[in-house]
Amino acid sequence: MDAPLTPLPRGFFARDVLEVARDLLGRVVRHRTAEGVVAVRLTEVEAYAGEADPGSHAFRGRTPRTEVMFGPPGHAYVYFSYGVHWCVNLVTGAEGTASAVLLRAGEVVEGAELARSRRPAARRDADLARGPARLTQSLAITGEQGGADVCSGGSLEVLEGSPVPDAAVSWGPRVGVAGPGAPTPWRAWATGEPTVSTYRAAVPRRPRRP
């Protein structure tokens, strides 16, 4: 991996969620486990603005599930999506604001062989972390990493990497968000990157019959 390995400081995350989301593109998430190390250069993220955002898990306030989002910035908010796979977010802003950035996709830049063993269904390396579930699988992130401090030099870190220039950043609607938060263009990605996931609009749920 050629990108600088300097960990990002807490001040990087202690900013507005949209600023952090944009600046996370090109940064590197690295996770050390007993099996080895895998690192992913981020190419796609989504911003969620807590209690001000209908698309956020924290929209209705503090719960045991979202407690870490209300804590200090620079921590991992990990949740189990649809009872199928894990997703990882990085908490941003001032303590108590509950904003966070979902890590949607990236390029494996270290530990590709280990990532392939964790993602045997991937047909090509560009698919190893192409989507939030694939990203966590490649990095071996589960609920055990929930609340992890990514600024303290632990096993889960976010490194400086190589920031993506403004001219190469695209913005659009978030994936899988329906209702009032659906049209918000808070998904950012590195334009033209093959590791960016395919956009799918949310399908509104039909009301249950009485």
Q: Give the distance from CA 84 to its chain's centroid.
A: 17
Domain locations in the chain as residue ranges? 10-190
Q: Comparing C-alpha atoms, which of 146, 25, 159 is closest to residue 91?
A: 146
3-class secondary structure, 127: helix
Are 97 and 50 a contacting pair, CB within 8 Å?
yes
How many angstroms separate the CA atoms of 14 and 17, rounded?
A: 9
Which is the CATH superfamily of the domain at 10-190? Answer: Methylpurine-DNA glycosylase (MPG) (3.10.300.10)
The alpha carbon of 83 is separated from its chain's Cα centroid by a whole number of angstroms, namely 18
pLDDT > 90: what percent of the chain? 74
Amino acid at 82: Y
pLDDT over 60 (residue 210): no
Alpha-carbon distance values, 172 to 41, 101, 128, 154 (Å): 20, 15, 23, 33
pTM recorded for the entire structure: 0.91
Q: How many CA atoms, within 13 angstroms, populate the side-chain half-sphere of residue 81?
A: 16
Q: Per-residue pLDDT for 208 more than 50?
A: no
Query: Can you tell me the mean pLDDT for 30-56?
Result: 94
Angle ∠(35,38,44) on CA atoms, nearest 5: 145
**Contacts (Cβ under 8 Å, ≥6 apart) of 155:** 31, 32, 33, 148
DSSP 8-class letter at 50: G
Res. 175: pLDDT tops 50: yes
Asked whether residue 131 carries a pLDDT value surpassing 90, the answer given is yes
